[in-house]
Amino acid sequence: MAAIPEQLGPVKLVRQIGLGKHCQVWEGLDIKARKKVAVKLIVPGMALDAGQRQLLEHELKVAKSLDHPTIIKVDRLSEDGGLPHLVMEYFPADNLKKQIAAGVEPLVPKLQRIVTEMALALDHMHARGWVHRDVKPDNVLAADDGQVKLIDLAIAAKASGFFGRLLGSKTTAQGSPSYMSPEQIRGEAVDARSDIYSFGCVIFELIAGRPPYTGADTNDLLNKHVSAVVPAVDAFNTYATTAVAKYLRQMLAKKPSDRPASMKEVLQQLRAMRLVERVTA
Using the predicted structure, report yes or no on whether residue 1 has a pLDDT greater than 70: no
CATH number of 96-271: 1.10.510.10
The predicted model gives 36-60 an average pLDDT of 90
Distance CA 154, CA 133 (A): 9
- Identify residue 278 by its one-letter amino acid code: R
Domains 7-89 and 96-271 fall in the same CATH topology = no
**Residues in Cβ contact with 143 at an 8 Å cutoff, skipping those fewer than 6 apart:** 91, 92, 93
Q: What is the mean pLDDT of residues 56-69?
A: 98
φ and ψ at residue 78, rounded to 5 degrees: -130, 170
- Quote the pLDDT of residue 280: 44
pLDDT average, residue stretch 187-216: 97
Q: Integer distance in angstroms from the first to the last C-alpha of the chain?
A: 46
Determine the angle formed by the axes of helices 242-251 and 192-208, rounding to 10 degrees: 140
- Superfamily (CATH H level) for 7-89: Phosphorylase Kinase; domain 1 (3.30.200.20)
Percentage of the chain beyond pLDDT 70 is: 93
Of the candidates 175, 204, 186, 169, which has an alpha carbon nearest to the alpha carbon of residue 255? 186
Helices (H), the chain: 50-64, 96-101, 108-127, 162-167, 182-185, 192-208, 218-227, 242-251, 263-271
Distance CA 265, CA 272 (A): 11
Ranges of each domain in the chain: 7-89, 96-271
Global pTM reads: 0.93
Average pLDDT over residues 36-51: 88
Residue 279 has pLDDT above 70, yes or no: no
C-alpha closest to that of 152 among 169, 132, 166, 178: 132
The answer for residues whose C-beta is within 8 angstroms of residue 241's C-beta and 6 or more apart is 234, 273, 274, 275, 276, 277
